[in-house]
Structure 1
Amino acid sequence: MSASKDEVKQPSSDVPLETEPRTSSEDATTVVFIDPEKEKATVRKFDRYVLPQFVIIQVLSYLDRTNIGNARIFGFEEDLNFKGNDFANLTSLFYVTYVIFEIPWVLAVKKYGANSVIAIAIIAWSVVVIGTGFIHNYTQAVVLRLILGFTEAGIFPALSFLISTIYPRESQGKRIAVLYGSTALAGAFGGLIAYAIQLMGDRLGLEAWRWLFIIEGAISIVFGLTCWATLPRSSEEAWFLKEDEKKLMKDRRARDIAYTGSDEFSWSYVWMAFTDTMVWAAALSLFCAGVPLFGFGTFLPTIIKGLGFESLQVNYLTIPVYVTGCLILAAVTFTSDRLKKRAAIAVCVPLIVITGYAIPIGTPVAGAGFFAMFLCSGVAWVSNNIKPDHKRSAALPFFVSIANISGVVSGQVYPSSSSPRYILGNAVSLSMEFLAGCGIVVIYFILRRRNQIKAKQRDDGVTDNGEKGDKSLDFEYIL
């Protein structure tokens, strides 16, 4: 049968093109179709203009959060007269406000646009970091650390959410992996910058650790001002798109409404996120993985120093560790995309990290312990399986918020009393990584079971199972 003027046969593509009816004011129904080659060309523009900015934002965020670990090697604790477990407490307190304000920041991105909200966040946290270079006691450090947690809270979940609105489901994993990879890249840059500043020494009456905060904060504030002009408000209003490309992005939303959902906000979507078993399973799994992740990021210089290396060596020795982490992540991501087995690959990652922590627990040899740090450096799957956008914009920061509570725990598992080998912290990190692997298995079986139930319903002729969002009959989970 030939297509009418209101209906055109949808071209084939290796990118799934779902069609959904779109109703006009006269209630006429048309079928949305998009040239797949033009769609790919449009998406590639986001890779050129937006993704590099996302990487830089993530690098700066991680640098400005974890530079306290490098500052510790410079004499940060001694100059501020820290006592007992003060440094660990300071590390933990950051995550209190970080967890509380993640969801509001991401919902603000959805409502007010990425360019203004993210730029405000970057500028705000940069001012806090610069201010840290001028503190004189523990109380001042606590106040600024809490404010820093508030200002950085929404960055990673907001960037993850934006990626989920720009890219097709099948290609989101690589972009999210780029964000994780930029964290490892930030660690390498952080070690390099810290080493250079340590060599610079005291200048203008300020200690080297103060210059670390001032210089890194100044870099961030300049980039934050730039982001205000260069980040798009949304994927459909990007400044670098031509009018026909903007229309394509809007048409794609109509086409993909089975995945993204409508633009109309309802608190029911937030409730859907909070009551989804899969979201809670992901949150608990990420919580377990977060303990070694956050502990590693902040305490790596301390751990390396505890292995017997000199202070001046510590900061540059962190660089190859993070570079190795980037390479491991790239290999894992490539294998996951090639095999199309997200869960199977994801469950292998904790095994690498477990091995890494087992080595310094089992041997006091400095060389072996340093080698283990390479192994330790090694969400997109979950974000792929949440619909619609409003549920995803609440679910992503929600389960990341639960996961980030682990930052409070990680700050306490490397107490000064356990130096120099920090066996307690490494043992806790190993155990939590094992539980994270178990959580991945649980998520896999939850999603597989849901797909099986939907498949049976379709085989039985059911056209509507009465569910909304990703639980609806027309949505299939990626495994």
Structure 2
Amino acid sequence: MSSHDDKSSLGGVDVVPVTKSQAPGIDMGSIPETEDANTFLATHGTATYTEESNRKLLRRIDMYLMPMMCISYCIQYIDKSALAYAAVFGVKKDLNLKGQEYSLLTSLFYIGYLVAEYPQAWLSQLIMFIWGGILMCSAATRNFADIAAVRFFQGVFESALTPAYIIVTGMWFTRREQPFRVAIWYSMNGLGNAIGALISYGMGLIDGKLDSWRYIFIIEGVMTIVWSVVVFMIFPSSPMRVRWLTDAQKAQAVERIRSNRTGIINREWKWEQVKEALDPRIDPTGHIIFWACVLNEVINGGVATYKGLIIKSIGWTDLQSALFGIAYGAAVTIEIASCGYCAMRFKDSRHWCMIAWLLPSAIGMILQIALPTSNKAGRTIGVLLMPSFVGSLALCMGIPSQNTAGFTKRSVVVGMAFIGYCVGNIIGPLAWVSGQTPAYISGYTTCLACMADQVALFLLLRVYYARQNKKRDQMVIDGLAPDPMALDGDEFEDLTDKQDLKFRYTL
């Protein structure tokens, strides 16, 4: 095998050399250099299990882990969407927001999100308490400068949650199970919409000393702080360090994801894996995922910011608009969860699902442009179709945990995806012009263009993964690579997907 820089070619497949400390195989002398999973299994023994015991363990993991992730994600969405609900109840007028200042408030949130994503990731179990307090501070704002500062720091402290949950999902679930689980907790955006709508409706009925929108921030902030205490006490850091599994169940939880070949966690930061993730000549997938997330979140940034105003522009009253958020939230939940379920149910369908779930959104936006303002029913149906694109994002964000091996590399690619997520949300609201209501032509046309570009990127990603799998299969036939089904004890070595020729990409 000839070497060129940090990468070689074998049978048409790019292969990154493995250093001695990374070489496959486990022995007691190498355990200190391996992942915690290897150390755990070396001291607790390799677990064997039946299909029935696996189903029971999976149910237990789902019962404990998924509710915590779902509730936390739901609360996060409620909190970051509070501004959209507050807009319905007059925050723009009360704070004297002019021009694009309202749009800039959403962008500032995601600038904070972008700045703090990496530094805050390790504090994911603690920062909910802080952002709940910051959200409550929104109730005390008096002008654009006040609320701009609050939105920025709210973004700083909310930034850890989504990247952390992508990594956590990869720690606990097989690659087949992951798309649906990611879609489930991400679909809590929809439940957050519904609950946020109920809260805002209730706050709108209060005849108190404060403006209605100020109560929204106070109630939602208190709710976040209370839940943060539960998360801090219960949420596990890994399958090896969890209170609600026995040692035997912990070993089985580790063993059942052996075939992922993506590992669980590694405390060592490896710069060669950073280079592999960032250099498109070695692996272009991180950059494709980055741009796909940018394009998707350009759509989200605008729709999420102007959703309340779009609904109100159809002709609903303030309180009716708030109640309509319940139906909108239900649509979001169904559209995201169904996308994840189809990707799990039908083999090699992930990229086709990501493309298909863009289509209802495109139809919904075309209806907003084409239908007259008098067609209230048609425009309302269009609004309910619009959030379907989020299903595509949920699957796209899950790709790094399923198709990227090597803990450092996976962390970097997850980071790239969420940098794209932030950049898109920063740009998105700026494409929408308040004066264009009710037909936000610039916003809708920008979104439609982004959808078309995403289709091209998803097709490119699928073709790349399929070609890599085909080449590796041919290498096995030619005797140049090991059988991918063979379990040789190297499954929890911190090898990247380029170094590990047994690795196969999910489609």
TM-score category of the 2 structures, normalised to the smaller one: 0.7 to 0.9
Q: Among residues 44, 50, 53, which one is paired with 2:65 in the alignment?
A: 50
Counterpart residue identity of residue 260, structure 1: G
Instruction: Quote the offset at 1:291 in angstroms.
Output: 1.5
Q: Among residues 84, 103, 108, which one is paired with 2:118 in the alignment?
A: 103
Distance change (3 Å), C-alpha of 1:252 and 1:264: farther
Distance change (3 Å), C-alpha of 1:92 and 1:264: closer
Distance in 1 (alpha carbons) for counterparts of 2:445 and 2:69: 34
State whether residues 295 and 407 of structure 1, in contact with CA within 8 Å, keep that contact through their aligned partners in structure 2.
yes
Match of 1:189 in 2: 195
Counterpart residue identity of residue 327, structure 1: I
Q: How many corresponding residue pairs?
A: 446
Q: Deviation string for 1:1-22 (max 9, x for gaps)?
A: xxxxxxxxxxxxxxxxxxx843
State whether residues 102 and 398 of structure 1, in contact with CA within 8 Å, keep that contact through their aligned partners in structure 2.
no
Report SS of the residue matched to 1:170. Answer: coil
Q: Deviation string for 1:396-440 (max 9, x for gaps)?
A: 122121232111111212221212221221221122122122211
Match of 1:59 in 2: 74
State whether residues 308 and 366 of structure 1, in contact with CA within 8 Å, keep that contact through their aligned partners in structure 2.
yes
Match of 1:476 in 2: 504
Normalising by structure 1, we get a TM-score of 0.88
Q: Among residues 255, 259, 262, which one is paired with 1:259 in the alignment?
A: 262
Distance change (3 Å), C-alpha of 1:333 and 1:251: closer
Distance in 1 (alpha carbons) for counterparts of 2:119 and 2:272: 16
State whether residues 298 and 428 of structure 2, in contact with CA within 8 Å, keep that contact through their aligned partners in structure 1.
yes
State whether residues 133 and 221 of structure 2, in contact with CA within 8 Å, keep that contact through their aligned partners in structure 1.
yes
2:436 aligned with 1:422, yes or no? no
Report SS of the residue matched to 1:293. Answer: helix
Distance in 2 (alpha carbons) for counterparts of 1:454 and 1:232: 36
2:401 aligned with 1:383, yes or no? yes
Structure 2: 5+ residue runs without aligned partners? 1-23, 32-40, 389-396, 484-493
- Spell out the pairing of 1:15-414 with structure 2 (5 A cutoff): 21-25=25-29, 32=46, 34-37=48-51, 38-106=53-121, 108=122, 117-201=123-207, 203=208, 205-251=209-255, 255-256=258-259, 258-260=261-263, 263-265=266-268, 266-275=270-279, 276-340=283-347, 341-364=349-372, 365-378=375-388, 379-414=397-432
Structure 1: 5+ residue runs without aligned partners? 1-19, 109-116
Distance in 2 (alpha carbons) for counterparts of 1:331 and 1:63: 21
Q: Deviation string for 1:80-131 (max 9, x for gaps)?
A: 111221111111111112112223333x2xxxxxxxx223210111011001
Instruction: Quote the offset at 1:229 in angstroms.
Output: 0.6
Instruction: Quote the offset at 1:172 in angstroms.
Output: 0.7
State whether residues 97 and 149 of structure 1, in contact with CA within 8 Å, keep that contact through their aligned partners in structure 2.
yes
Instruction: Quote the offset at 1:294 in angstroms.
Output: 2.7
Normalising by structure 2, we get a TM-score of 0.83
Distance in 1 (alpha carbons) for counterparts of 2:265 and 2:443: 46
Match of 1:462 in 2: 480
State whether residues 194 and 330 of structure 2, in contact with CA within 8 Å, keep that contact through their aligned partners in structure 1.
yes
Distance in 2 (alpha carbons) for counterparts of 1:405 and 1:147: 17
Report SS of the residue matched to 2:238. Answer: coil
Distance in 2 (alpha carbons) for counterparts of 1:262 and 1:95: 28
Report SS of the residue matched to 1:101. Answer: helix
State whether residues 32 and 251 of structure 1, in contact with CA within 8 Å, keep that contact through their aligned partners in structure 2.
yes
Counterpart residue identity of residue 369, structure 1: R
Report SS of the residue matched to 2:26. Answer: strand
